[in-house]
Amino acid sequence: MSYDWTPEMRDRYDELVRAARERSVPATTHYTREEWRWCGDVGLLGLSVPESHGGSGLDALGTASAMEAFGYGYADMGLVFAAAAHLFACAMPIAEHGTAEIRQQVLPRLCDGRWIAGNAATEDEAGSDLTSLATKAVRTADGYRISGEKSFVSNGPVADVFVVYATTDPALGFLGVSAFVVERDRPGVTVCPRWPRRCCPGARPAGCTCPTRRCQPARGSARRVRVPPSSSRPCAGNAAACSQATSD
Ligand SMILES: Cc1cc2nc3c(=O)[nH]c(=O)nc-3n(C[C@H](O)[C@H](O)[C@H](O)COP(=O)(O)OP(=O)(O)OC[C@H]3O[C@@H](n4cnc5c(N)ncnc54)[C@H](O)[C@@H]3O)c2cc1C
């Protein structure tokens, strides 16, 4: 792979730095919907999402250079972090592993900024080790029923939709973990209020030195949340691939 920037990448970088500086507001409070929609308008929320689903279809280098421009030009790293969490931990796993139906429904809204997404994987007793999730998804006649509690969801307080990791069969280890697209307004979904401090609370994760100034994490829970099978399973039984899409 060549890491040389093309003239097109340089032009996009310069344009994004200019636009970000112009739009940038000091981080005095949490980011607003207006700022979020601006991110969508300039294409930041769908950089690597295929054009057929509302994104820009950029490759890894094009995406990284555009994100760098955003971070360089915008004053608030909290918004940059939030947009990256939305794109890389939610939109891309859906783009790469979601069913055709869910991609069509969700991705255009994630790319243009109508929706904010949060990745709900971490639990009190399951952080790095996704195979020890306590959140369960039980197969029902008409889909799945999800129950469990998540401890650290970036964008959580304002998210419209979540990518929720849950186990369908603990005996299968990581092969038993799937990811589900769960809209915030589904009955049984509870999102706790924003943490009182602007960034991470002192106790969890221990020693957090998060550089973001307006990071918006929240706890949340699902109590017997029903989701349909076809539209809510970005990577059934393949959470490793799904979370890999996040880190790719
Ligand atoms: C700013 C921020 C935003 C976040 N946003 C989200 C989010 O949007 N969604 C979400 O689900 N989670 C989110 N998290 C949580 C994050 O994913 C977890 O903190 C992370 O997975 C680690 O889990 P843990 O804190 O439970 O630590 P643990 O998994 O308990 O790890 C504790 C320590 O042990 C080390 N360790 C763990 N396993 C091994 C091993 N096998 N070998 C060697 N060392 C090991 C780790 O490196 C770490 O130093 C966020 C965290 C931060 C700081």
CATH number of the domain to which 230 belongs: 2.40.110.10
Residue 2 resides in a domain? no
- The pLDDT of residue 212 is above 60: no
For residues 90 and 87, give the distance between their C-alpha atoms in angstroms, rounded to a whole number. Answer: 6
Which residue is closest in CA terms to ligand 1's atom 23? 127
Could you report the predicted ipTM of this complex, rounded to two decimals? 0.94
Which is the closest atom of ligand 1 to the Cα of 204?
25
> What's the whole-number average pLDDT of the chain?
84
**SS3 of residue 127 by DSSP:** coil
Which range among 4-18, 45-59, 69-83 shows the weakest confidence by mean pLDDT? Answer: 69-83
Residue 55 resides in a domain? yes
On whether both 101 and 133 belong to a single domain, the answer is: no
- The pLDDT of residue 66 is above 90: yes
Per residue in 120-157, pLDDT (tens digit) is 999 988 988 888 899 999 998 888 999 999 988 889 88
Which residue is closest in CA terms to ligand 1's atom 3? 154
pLDDT at site 103: 94
On whether both 101 and 30 belong to a single domain, the answer is: yes
Q: Which domain holds residue 185?
A: 117-247
On whether both 93 and 150 belong to a single domain, the answer is: no
Last residue of a domain, one of 75, 95, 112: 112
pLDDT at site 7: 97
pLDDT at site 213: 41
pLDDT band at 14 (very low <50, low <70, confident <90, very high): very high
For residues 176 and 137, give the distance between their C-alpha atoms in angstroms, rounded to a whole number. Answer: 10
- Mutation to probe ligand 1, out of 152, 192, 247 (largest number of atoms < 8 A from CB): 152
Last residue of a domain, one of 71, 92, 112: 112
pLDDT at site 231: 42
On whether both 79 and 35 belong to a single domain, the answer is: yes
Tell me the average pLDDT across 72-81: 90
Last residue of a domain, one of 63, 96, 112: 112
Which range among 11-25, 33-47, 125-139 shows the weakest confidence by mean pLDDT? Answer: 125-139
- The pLDDT of residue 28 is above 70: no
Tell me the average pLDDT across 28-47: 92
Q: Is the CB of 236 under 6 A from ligand 1?
A: no
Q: Which residues face 220 on adjacent strands? A: 150, 191
On whether both 78 and 165 belong to a single domain, the answer is: no
On whether both 179 and 228 belong to a single domain, the answer is: yes
- The pLDDT of residue 91 is above 80: yes
Domain count for the chain: 2
On whether both 124 and 201 belong to a single domain, the answer is: yes
The b-or-e profile of 144-155 (16+ CB within 10 A means b, else e) is bbbbbbbbbbbb
Which range among 61-75, 157-171, 214-228 shows the weakest confidence by mean pLDDT? Answer: 214-228
Which residue is closest in CA terms to ligand 1's atom 1? 210
Q: Residue 36 is part of a domain; what is its CATH number?
A: 1.10.540.10
pLDDT at site 239: 52
On whether both 96 and 154 belong to a single domain, the answer is: no
pLDDT at site 228: 72
Q: Is the CB of 130 under 6 A from ligand 1?
A: no
On whether both 240 and 176 belong to a single domain, the answer is: yes
- The pLDDT of residue 112 is above 60: yes
Residues in the chain: 248
Q: How far is the CA of 209 from the centre of ligand 1 (A)?
A: 13
- The pLDDT of residue 206 is above 50: no
For residues 233 and 248, give the distance between their C-alpha atoms in angstroms, rounded to a whole number. Answer: 20
Q: Shortest CA distance to 184 belongs to which of 161, 206, 201?
A: 161
pLDDT at site 137: 93
